[in-house]
Structure 1
Amino acid sequence: MKVLHIGKQGNLQRFAAADGFLRSLELTDLKPGLPVKEYLDKAGDADFIVVDAISSVPGELIKQMPNLKVIHSEGVAYNAIDLKAADEYGVYVCNAKGMNAMAVAEQAVLLMVGMLRNMVVNDAAVRNGHQIETKEGYMQNGNLYELADCSVGLVGFGDIAQKTAHLLKAYGVKEIYYYKRHRLDPEQEQQFGVQYRELDDLLASSRIVSLHLPVTDATMHMADHDFFAKMQPGSYLVNTARGELVDDAALIEALKSERLAMAGLDTLDHEPVLKNHPLLNQSSGITRRLLLSPHIGGITAASFYRGYAMIDEDLRLIAQGRKPKRVVNHPQIHESK
């Protein structure tokens, strides 16, 4: 059986288990963004596609691969795969749901603690020879805080937010609020140690607000002027989900007005982020209140190993004539598949 990998070349060899099913397959390893004809010429008879989470698998490719049984995202996202074509041609589409949940949760907590300890300013203070006066200033003012001093609101409550709640409990955070479209049952809320709040109430009740949502028409730029106006004065925003959730102009205004004390962002709108990005071209009074990281929350080595273990399991199941575990579409399965 054959697998076409579309993504960073070498990933399958690097992260798939040495004794796993994936390593038994004939591999064609190609870069994203090539013409469909090149994929077909080199791997048109492949049984499986494993694809980078943000790379395209168009319907034009799917319909011309007669042996194709599964398209598996290397990550959680699968929005660049033509689901309609996969459904029509009886191809399962799967993702590696939960593979990076702990990694991104750690990044969210890192940003929370980094803001509360004012790491941007403090790193610069030490590098510029102002260590002792900076330390004495905090001792005099008593304005460094621990996570346990804060209420935290999680907007969205999927795998990553659930792991974040677990870590926050370990830090002693007593008030962990969550918002999602469908409320958990009381037993689940008790299990995660969280309290449900409608979104407006969560924003008003939380000193730290952390975003954990996908980008949809409903969530695009949801963190807008009205959103920030409902947050506590001097509160903190964390975004480890997608940059498109945040309206940059509204965020800048919230920082200028000091509605927000700081924002900790692992992802920005308009990636790749270049030097002309609006958030990077503000006064020092704004930029020193931004704690940034380069969208690395979910790309730990452990995440990739977990993801490839999931891929290995799903492809093995389909090779055995069984349904894979992590299906995200509704394929019309034909006997020939």
Structure 2
Amino acid sequence: MPTVLIADKMSARAVEIFHERGIAVEVKTGLGKEALCAIIGQYDGLAIRSATNVDADVLAAASRLKVVGRAGIGVDNVDIHAASKRGVIVMNTPYGNTVTTAEHAIALMMAAARMIPQATMSLKAGQWEKSRFQGVELYQKTLGVIGTGNIGSLVIARAQGLGMRVIAYDPYLSKIRAADLGVELVEMDTLLARADFLTVHTPLTDATRNLFRAETFAKMKPGAILVNAARGCIVDEAALYDALKSGHLRAAALDVFCKEPVHGDNPLLELDNFICTPHLGASTEEAQVNVAIQVAEQISAYLLRGVVQNAVNLPSVKEEELLLLQPYLNLGERH
């Protein structure tokens, strides 16, 4: 019987699914690196969220490990190269929290436009400052969307429902798909110059690291509002501070940071035109259950039937296709 370790807190539904599939499962959360290395050799599968770091040392100690499943999208906490060298499949769950994250991006946009957190704090402090908190409407404003995948496309639909004009930059987006989404496909510099609001929905890669830096902010429309509910380090936080402090940007709203958790020494926290949340994009009851279900089902399918779904280091194969390919795969392993 395969055995799986759940190393981070997630919905109890994951445990139920493993039991239903006939897979043994143990839940041990909050393990440090040394403790995890000491026990990881006992398991065929590992289910994590963002807290557990699966680095090369952990993988070297994982003599039986076949699959790591991340309940969520980002796999920054997994050494993909080391896993691939050891033949360990790394999966994520890209669909379980898409709605939740898209809604959070829209919420941040509205909160920044209407200064809701600042007005709340002011009123709770006993002030009634109506004139201080004059905001801007989203209606008929131009929203620039960078990245039009699962989450970005949902943000586009919701923004259109609010009466916004949407332009998009995505080097992988075809003109046909752009037409289906109802967006104008533009170059990056054009998007920066035209967008009243800008939201980014890309993974963190070498190409997107510090995508928003001093020269990027200089190209943005004066008075624009930036939202990032994607990944930390896409935004150069020091450059963002300067753009907000100078007034070139009206406001910014971040859910993710380059260094998390954020402490009080981050200078962005001093700015009145900066709002933030502690990486809450996927933090709804529905999303937590969805990603737990998906990661348990995907790990089970791989351990029991060899079916690969949503892997980041191997092409995914449908179960019916695997039945046709399996004889050739077996032949290849023997030679």
Aligned-CA RMSD value: 2.8
Contact 1:71 1:94 (C-alpha < 8 Å) held by counterparts:
yes
Q: CA deviation at 1:148?
A: 1.6
In structure 1, list runs of 5 or more residues that go unmatched.
282-286
Q: What pairs with 1:304-319 in structure 2 (closer than 5 Å)?
A: 304-319=288-303
Cα distance in 2, alignment partners of residues 58 and 266 from structure 1: 25
Change (3 A) 1:125 1:71: closer
Cα distance in 2, alignment partners of residues 64 and 276 from structure 1: 37
Q: What pairs with 1:171-182 in structure 2 (closer than 5 Å)?
A: 171-173=162-164, 175-182=165-172
Q: Which residue identity lines up with residue 174 of structure 2 in the other structure? A: L
Aligned positions, number: 319
Q: What SS does the aligned partner of 1:148 have?
A: coil
- 1:122 corresponds to which residue? 119
1:29 aligns with one of 27, 33, 43: 27
- When structure 1 is superposed on structure 2, of 215-224 and 38-47 the one drifting more is 38-47
Contact 1:262 1:289 (C-alpha < 8 Å) held by counterparts:
yes
Cα distance in 2, alignment partners of residues 265 and 239 from structure 1: 5
- When structure 1 is superposed on structure 2, of 248-257 and 206-215 the one drifting more is 248-257
- Given the two structures, how large is their TM-score scaled by the length of structure 1? 0.84
Q: CA deviation at 1:210?
A: 0.9
Cα distance in 2, alignment partners of residues 103 and 239 from structure 1: 14
Change (3 A) 1:226 1:45: same
Q: What pairs with 1:37-186 in structure 2 (closer than 5 Å)?
A: 38-39=35-36, 41-131=38-128, 134=130, 144-173=135-164, 175-186=165-176
Contact 1:224 1:251 (C-alpha < 8 Å) held by counterparts:
yes
Contact 1:76 1:95 (C-alpha < 8 Å) held by counterparts:
yes
Contact 2:40 2:58 (C-alpha < 8 Å) held by counterparts:
no
CA distances 1:16-43 after superposition (whole Å, capped 9, x unpaired): 274565674322323355345x446545
Contact 2:71 2:291 (C-alpha < 8 Å) held by counterparts:
yes
Cα distance in 2, alignment partners of residues 35 and 243 from structure 1: 23
CA distances 1:262-294 after superposition (whole Å, capped 9, x unpaired): 11111233222111112124xxxxx22112211
- When structure 1 is superposed on structure 2, of 78-87 and 208-217 the one drifting more is 78-87
In structure 2, list runs of 5 or more residues that go unmatched.
316-328
1:292 counterpart = 2:276: yes
Q: What SS does the aligned partner of 1:218 have?
A: coil
- 1:284 corresponds to which residue? none
- 2:286 corresponds to which residue? 302
Q: Which residue identity lines up with residue 71 of structure 2 in the other structure? A: E
- Given the two structures, how large is their TM-score scaled by the length of structure 2? 0.84
Q: CA deviation at 1:249?
A: 2.5
Q: CA deviation at 1:128?
A: 4.3
Cα distance in 2, alignment partners of residues 125 and 301 from structure 1: 30
